[in-house]
Amino acid sequence: MNLFFKCINKKCNRETKRKAVNVMEEVIQRWYKKVGELYNIQAAKITNWSHFESEYILGRKIVFMCTAKGDPRPHITWYKNGIELYAHSFFQVHEWFLSDTEVKSKMEIDPATQMDAGYYECQADNQYAIDFKAFRTDYSIEFD
């Protein structure tokens, strides 16, 4: 902690600044955990998700799943290459409230095209935290 304040008041080299930031992040995480225990806060946390890397066949369906817990129940948002995805005729999101504190979301693209290759992310958030998981997908061509 003292290292952090020294770096604020004086110039530190890059390595010392990195260490100071890491120490401060640990302190903040411990503080959030303690406050959460004290007030029974449940930060959004993704508890189940699809595999990181997948390959799909052109013209078939791509499916990603995410389950998250928290109190209040988290909201799940889907992204592709860092841009939020919105519903359209080839893209569907299905959501199930499993309990007062748990939600499951399934994202489907059907039919899949070459343009659907990329990095996808599911993000769960509530007023206490944001959690995310990333997925990479690429296409393959099926020969008959």
C-beta of residue 49 within 8 angstroms of C-beta of residue 67: yes
**Does 74 sit behind a cis peptide bond, omega within 30 degrees of 0 on the bond before it?**
no
pLDDT tens for the chain, residues 1 to 144: 455 555 655 667 777 777 777 777 677 767 767 766 666 668 899 999 988 788 888 989 999 999 999 999 999 999 999 999 987 788 899 999 999 999 999 999 999 999 999 999 999 999 988 999 998 899 887 776
Do the strands 129-140 and 53-57 form a parallel or antiparallel pair, or are they unpaired?
parallel
Can you give the pTM of this predicted structure?
0.70
**Does 111 sit behind a cis peptide bond, omega within 30 degrees of 0 on the bond before it?**
yes
Spatial distance between the Cα atoms of 24 and 19, rounded to a whole number of angstroms: 9
What percent helix, strand, coil does the chain show, rounded to 5? 25, 45, 25
